[in-house]
Chains A and B, each alone.
Chain A
Amino acid sequence: MIIGQAFAWVVDPTNYGGPDGVQARLWEHVWISLLAVLIASVIAVPIGYLIGHTGRARGLAIALSGGIRALPTLGVLTLFGLLLGVNLQAPLLALVILAVPSVLAGAYAGIESVEPVTVDAARAQGMTGWQILTRVEIPLGLPLLIGGIRAAVLQVVATATLAAYVGAGGLGGYVFLGLKTQDYAMMLGASILVIALAIAFEIVFSVLQRAVVPAGVAERSTRRHPGSRERTRTPLPEGTPS
């Protein structure tokens, strides 16, 4: 059974050690993915907060996060690979670009989801604009920001697999080596590892997303009884398949 052979490849200890071993490649995959999302966050979070807080350029944030779905990741990767040469910077830059819209949408939607009444109340208490942003809007918007980062991480973990096509390492390297040498068990084994990695990230981030809900909000939502007003739907930055 081919699936059995693939799992045998995954657990085979001879595949693990060394610079081309599963351990090194897995680490490389995680490292490049998280680095790309980190860089994207440094760029996108302040911009998203600015858009959310001022309410300006809203359309840009929405168009960007919608448009990213249509942009073929393989096209971006190959174009960067061709223009910048086959090295690590090209795929990293492509991954950052692909991660920015999700993070931006999360940061923006987080601020946007805060009810105007809450912001007014904060202002009435004498808070300055900066205080409203840092003490009210950011904490309340944190779950949606984490949601955006979660979508970005999924996108990047998936795309990093494809990035091996233009010379980046990571688990995708096994996929394309297997494709060249007709070693389907290796391709499938590596695919199983990528899927497991993506689902592990998904679980970690969904736990994190719940953990950052401010205590006051969490308490209020558990106390809600049947018949009370349904929570208003916030534009949650959903992940799309990547």
Chain B
Amino acid sequence: MNWVLSNLDTIWDDTVAHLAVAVPPIIISFLLSIPIGWLVVRLRRPGASRVSSGLGGAVVTVAGLLYAVPSLPLFIALPGIIGTGLQDPVNVVVGLTLYGLALMVRSTVDGLGSVDAATTSAATAMGYSGAQRFFRVDLPLAGPVLLAGLRVVAVSTISLTTVGAVLGIQSLGSLFTDGIGRNIPEEIVSGIVTVLVLAIVIDGLLVLLGRAVMPWTRKDTTAKRRARRVLQAAEATS
């Protein structure tokens, strides 16, 4: 505990550096996944040609394979591809954005694809244009699925950012590399705890943000909770 108290400024500096690397990929991958997900759903809609739905499927498969790529090798390979320096934080930002996309595209495809066809037909019948329908009907209905995906992206991005430290890119991971180098277990533990706290805080903020922009889901969850309680009661008495 002594180490933590006398090194609060180091932890703070590393936390700020960590957020500077971790937050942009979360936002960028979320924003990019919406048009990509829209495109995939459009390519694979019923009645689309074989080539078109195959192309849509290929995007999802490539995105799936991407997260099989381990992070450290990716952070090392990216400078060779995009021409940045090995210790440039941009590598980590780009790498984490790719991972974010790999997870997020799948969520947007699932979310947008789960919108009931009858609902979209009704919207069209009411005179919504394509864009209006997308932003006012499809996107809000896909919202809870997008939020679930975004939460996974946020938490894994915050944790993965630490890996860059072994290449010398500052983040909370620097507490791990420094801690093992100078033989201070407290430093490593404080790094782990800070990462976990950061993940929980960001996750909580996303949940609150979700409630603010999708007020109707609040009602939904209480309904769901009630349903679950009813089921459990039935299970217990049977």
Contact = CB atoms under 8 A, between A and B. Distances in A.
Contacts of B68: 154, 198-199, 201-202, 239
B152 A184 contact: no
A60 interface: no
A158 B74 CA distance: 10
Query: Contact residue range for chain A?
Result: 35 or more
Interface string B138-161: 000000000000001001101110
B152 A69 contact: yes
Majority secondary structure, A binding face: helix
Majority secondary structure, B binding face: helix
B80 A70 contact: no
Interface string A169-194: 00010011001000010011011101
B183 interface: yes
B189 A79 contact: yes
A82 B179 contact: yes
A162 B103 CA distance: 22
B72 A75 contact: no
A241 B188 contact: no
A131 interface: no
B81 A161 contact: no
A158 B179 contact: no
B102 to A, nearest CB: 7
Find the residue from A66, A74, A158, A165 having the highest chain B CB count within 10 A: A74
A195 B180 contact: no
A199 B65 CA distance: 7
Given A70-B159, A78-B180, A202-B65, A241 B72 contact: no
A144 B70 CA distance: 22
B69 A75 contact: no
A161 to B, nearest CB: 5
A29 to B, nearest CB: 11
Contact of A71 (B65, B73, B192): B192
Interface in B51-75: 65, 67-74
B179 A172 contact: no
B180 A82 contact: yes
A56 B138 CA distance: 37
A48 interface: no
Interface string B93-128: 000000100110000000000000000000000000
A240 B66 CA distance: 10
19 contacts: A69-B152, A70-B155, A70-B158, A71-B195, A72-B159, A72-B176, A74-B176, A74-B177, A75-B192, A76-B192, A78-B179, A162-B72, A192-B73, A195-B69, A195-B70, A195-B73, A195-B74, A202-B65, A242-B70
Interface of B: 65, 67-74, 76-77, 80-81, 86, 99, 102-103, 152, 155-156, 158-160, 162-163, 165-167, 172-173, 175-177, 179-180, 183, 185, 188-189, 191-192, 195-196, 199-200
Given A162-B163, A188-B76, 11 more contacts: A69-B155, A70-B195, A73-B163, A74-B176, A75-B162, A158-B71, A162-B72, A175-B73, A194-B72, A240-B67, A241-B156
Q: Which 4 A-B pairs have the closest CB atoms?
A: A158-B70, A191-B73, A70-B199, A241-B99
